[in-house]
Amino acid sequence: MNLFFNLVIFIFGLLIGSFLNCLIYRLEKKENFLKGRSYCPHCHHQLNWSDLIPILSFIFLKGKCRYCKKKISWQYPLVEITTGLLFLSLFIVHCSLFIYIIACFLIIIFVYDFKYYLIPDKVIYLAILIVFIYRLFGTSKPFLNPLFSGLGAAGFFFLLWFISRGRWMGFGDVKLGFLMGFFLSFPNILVALFFAFIIGAIIGIGLIIAGKKTLKSQVPFGPFLILGTFIALFWGDKIINWYLRLAV
């Protein structure tokens, strides 16, 4: 029975991942994601249901459009698989509709910032609004801790943005910092920020060594913040307890 439910949740995550791909594309094109059928971004041919089966369509079509034979971006199967695995993991650890919804917003921000070096205001503001409503009405936990955690994280990134005049990070990271703190609360926000900077530094140095980037190259920081958020969400309490035991 557990295997059946896990499979159902994973497949549901694949379907949501397919929807998120569509949303990300239409968000960038400024199209209404509630109207119109999906189409190939190259030839604009409308896609049949058989072209939209998560993972399987990509495999059967060998990563190419059925109609124009142009390559399909690897973003589509990767987002689908990642969302499926994430939903399954959340089902096992944090079975909460609220967390599922925020996870979807974080995936959108991750991919959008990774591709376009931009965190869309529509997404970040709506995510903050949902967290605000949940903190206000959906939980009995204190409201001030998440609020001050969000303000603290946003203030930290605002200082970095202000001092560097936007060279170190964009203003979108300030808003994302607030969302992270508001969502995770203290002290998990510290775990998220710590791992975001560590992962960002490791990947940044790796790209420089590989000759892909230079010290002056622009690298989106949003994806690292999202990774840090998920690390804190799944293992934040365990990491903090381990650190406290180590410190004592």
pLDDT for 1 equals: 61
pLDDT of residue 229: 97
pLDDT of residue 125: 97
Q: Residue 115 has what pLDDT?
A: 94
pLDDT the model gives residue 77? 95
The pLDDT of residue 171 is 92
Report pLDDT for 93.
86
> Strand pairing partners for 39?
46
Q: What is the pLDDT of residue 146?
A: 94
Q: Which pTM does this prediction carry?
A: 0.93
Domain boundaries, the chain: 1-93, 118-248
Measured distance CA(115)–CA(207) in Å, rounded: 16
Q: Which amino acid is at 176?
A: L
224-227, Cβ contacts within 8 angstroms, sequence gap of 24 or more: 224/196, 224/197, 224/199, 224/200, 225/173, 225/176, 225/177, 225/180, 225/192, 225/193, 225/196, 226/106, 226/107, 226/109, 226/110, 227/110, 227/195, 227/196, 227/199
Going from the first residue of the chain to its last (248 residues), give the mean pLDDT of each consecutive group of 10, the final group possibly shorter: 87 96 92 81 87 92 91 94 96 88 97 94 96 87 91 96 88 96 96 96 89 79 96 94 84
